[in-house]
Structure formats: C-alpha cells, structure tokens
Amino acid sequence: MQATVKAYDGATRTGSVLLDDGSELAFDAAAFDAGGLRLLRLGQRVNLAVEDDRITVVTLSTFPLP
C-alpha cells in the first residue's frame, strides 16, 4: 500500500500518513525502524505494510517491503 507522509517527528520517529483514499493512519517508532529509514519529509511517498489496521513497516516507495 502507498501513502503520503503527513507528519513526522524525528525525535520520536513517529508520525502519520495520508492514504490515497484520504484517510489518516499513524505509525510508531517500531514501524519506522522496520523500514530501515533515517528520516522522512512531509509530502514524501512511502510504501506501507499494514496488519489489522496498524502500520508495521514504513519505507520509501522506491524500496521493496521487507
């Protein structure tokens, strides 16, 4: 699934994304760390792995999901 970064806090490594249908989902530090990223920018496109309405991995749209 793809989304756009709406908010990101580098200190806590948490944030939220907007899905293509306009709904917002939050992600935690564990999901950010699972993607192997160092930072995110607002408006950046990302790939998501989602289980039970919870984001488990956030990574760049050009990277494969682990």
pTM metric for this prediction:
0.90
pLDDT digits 0-9 by tens, 1-57: 999 999 999 999 999 999 999 999 999 999 999 999 999 999 999 999 999 989 999
* pLDDT of the residue at 20: 92
Query: Which amino acid would we find at residue 6?
Result: K
Encode burial over 32-61: b for 16+ CB neighbours within 10 A, e otherwise.
bebbebeebeeeeebbbbeeeeebbbbbee
Q: Select from 24, 26, 66 the least CA-distant residue to 47.
A: 66
Give the chain's domains with CATH numbers.
2-60 (2.40.50.140)
All residues at 6 or more sequence positions from 7 whose CB lies less than 8 Å from its CB, including other chains: 15, 16, 42
